[in-house]
Amino acid sequence: MKALSLKRRHPLAVLALLLMGLLLTGGLYTLATSVNQAKAETTTYSAEDVEQGEKLFIANCATCHGMGASGSKDGPSLVGVGAASVDFQVGTGRMPLQAQGPQAPQKPQQFNAEQTKQLAAYVASLGAGPSVPAAEFLDGKGDAAEGGELFRVNCAMCHNAAAAGGALTQGKFAPSLAGVTPEHIYEAMITGPQNMPVFNDANITPEQKRNIITFLQTIEANGSPGGNDLGALGPVSEGLFVWIAGLGLVIAFTIWLTSRTS
Instruction: Give per-residue pLDDT as tens, 127-160.
Output: 989 999 999 999 999 999 999 999 999 999 999 8
Mean pLDDT of the chain: 84
Q: Is a pLDDT exceeding 80 seen at residue 230?
A: no
Least confident of 114-123, 130-139, 186-195, 221-230: 221-230
* Predicted pLDDT of residue 35: 43
Q: ∠39-210-182 over CA atoms, to 5°?
A: 105
68 among annotated binding-site residues: no
Mean pLDDT of 227-240: 63
Q: Is a pLDDT exceeding 50 seen at residue 36?
A: no
Share of the chain above pLDDT 90, in %: 57
10 among annotated binding-site residues: no
184 among annotated binding-site residues: no
* Predicted pLDDT of residue 56: 96
Least confident of 78-92, 181-195, 223-237: 223-237
Is the C-alpha dihedral spanning 43, 29, 31, 149 positive or negative? Answer: negative
Q: Single out the residue of 58, 49, 110 nearest to residue 83, CA to CA.
A: 49
Helices marked H in the chain — which ranges?
2-8, 11-40, 47-60, 62-65, 82-91, 113-126, 144-154, 156-159, 182-191, 206-222, 235-261
45 among annotated binding-site residues: no
Beta bridge partners, 166, equal 174
61 among annotated binding-site residues: yes
Is the C-alpha dihedral spanning 106, 112, 113, 114 positive or negative? Answer: negative
Could you tell me the pTM of the whole model? 0.72
Q: How confident is the model at residue 83 (pLDDT cuts 50, 70, 90)?
A: very high
Mean pLDDT of 56-81: 93
DSSP 8-class letter at 178: T
